[in-house]
Structure 1
Amino acid sequence: MLLPHVNKQRLITAALLGPASIWLFVFLVLPFIAIIVFAFGERAPEGGYQAAFTFEQFVNLGARSAAFVNTLMLAPIGAAACLVVAYPVAYYLAVKASPQRRLLLVSLVVVPFWTSLLVRTYAWMYLLGARGIPHLLEFVGIENVRLINTPGAVLLGIVYGYLPLMIMPIYVSLEKLDRRLLEASADLGAKPVSTFFGITVPLSLPGVMTGIALVTILLLGEYLIPQLLGGGKVFFIGNALVDLFLQSRNWPFGSAIAVTLVAVVVIVLLVAMRIAWRVAGTRQVDLI
């Protein structure tokens, strides 16, 4: 008697999930399958893809080792720098700021997203260029300071561009913090520093790990900031992909790098989840 009802529920579920599933399959799964196929092919004489089955592209990944090294070094450093700046801001917004001011301050954190990252990065190009901050430093006797086209400039652009993505997850975790735990800690004689590191930090860990994973994963494919603030001298994997697909037209090698990048992203995500589970003592941690 329940069988028709069960079948009806399955049909309804399939009807609801069907459009989204088809969309994801066509625009996410199929392109990735094509990239995997390209990765095992060869570059055609005139550029592009030529059907083959070879591991040569993966063997030659070392030819772009500089891009991998820069990305795997600056992406975690950039995420860590974002965390150092973001946590005090998120803590103030969630714990210290009054409810009346909180909405305004959170809105100011989101405001940079209303402007194109390209425009904001060009602004930093001017500030770090010869007519920007270095020009001002000359008035106080500090000459020959070079800020643009350096790893430091790229790191600064990363922190500026991705800081809101680190602030918001931490803010959400801290906002949900049960204030009674802080009061109980104070009543038991714990110092504010002990309460912060013993209660606040562990309970905000899901937000911290979400922010770190989100920023790191996005930085692994970053192209714009290294290109503009690094002047092509600080090469990321994203820059290598643009060069291989659009200029060198070596699609198989670019596809091999793209597949490797996806594998690195998956590893970063799994490691972040593993750390969050162990430290938080729970598997109720969302990183996506």
Structure 2
Amino acid sequence: MTVSGHVRDGAARAVREAAALVLEAFGREDDPGWYKAPGALVTETDLAVDRLLRDRLGALDPAIGWLSEESADDPARLACERIWVVDPIDGTSAFAEGNPEFGVSVALVEHGRPVLAWFACPARDEFYEAARGNGAFRNGARLAVGERDVIAGGTVACRRGDAKRAWFREGMAGARLVPALSLACQLAAVAAGRIDGVLSRAPCKEWDTAAADLLIEEAGGRIEDATGAVPRYNKPEPLVPGMVAAGPGLLGPLRERLRNLRPPSVAAASPAPG
């Protein structure tokens, strides 16, 4: 199914408008946010961007479904051939703390896979975009993933909690670990060849990866789960299991590490009964 220029161009404008709204709010002290769940910060800016994108994108084609981190999930999306998968602000904690590692993530998913993607990092003046079969770009420059094929000496982003765990650091020996404040930002960095890979033991939400999935694929890399499968989107439970992202040379080694990374068991950590 061909995506019309009306939808493609309109969506790009909407993401730029959303990025401008986020940048205007960045650094303000009157929007500290609140926790909607443990570890899940949301701000008024998140909600304002969600409303803006739903209004702009919904007007482009009412038949396209909707899945967003900041909207109530509507099961009607499951019957749609196409859906928008949106994260109004990926990296809300960084945004609230005044750290520039955050962005607006939008993907158009068709039959389970992204066909158009945008990721805007406004505090860094970066605008990423990709269309299936037509490459991935940042500010107009074509992207390509790195060529590394061994973990040793590479730079790999991971969850902040994992970066602090001694057993995780030992399991990733040889790599320079970068804690991800925004998973989408680090995935975009893989597409741009700035870092070598991303590894996440914990499940991710579909809106964390959908846009970056296409960016990385069109830049010559891939996102996979521990079985080597690519993510499918618009599932009833919008989760992506533990995943790795990298160029083709590093995917296998990272996938193997993901399979073998295990925290020490309580039994192993406990002293034997005397």
TM range (shorter): under 0.3
Q: TM-score, normalised by structure 2?
A: 0.25
Structure 1 or 2: larger helix share? 1
Pair member with larger Rg: 1
**Higher RCO (CA 8 Å, separation ≥ 6 residues):** 1
Q: TM-score, normalised by structure 1?
A: 0.24
Which protein is richer in strand relative to its size?
Answer: 2
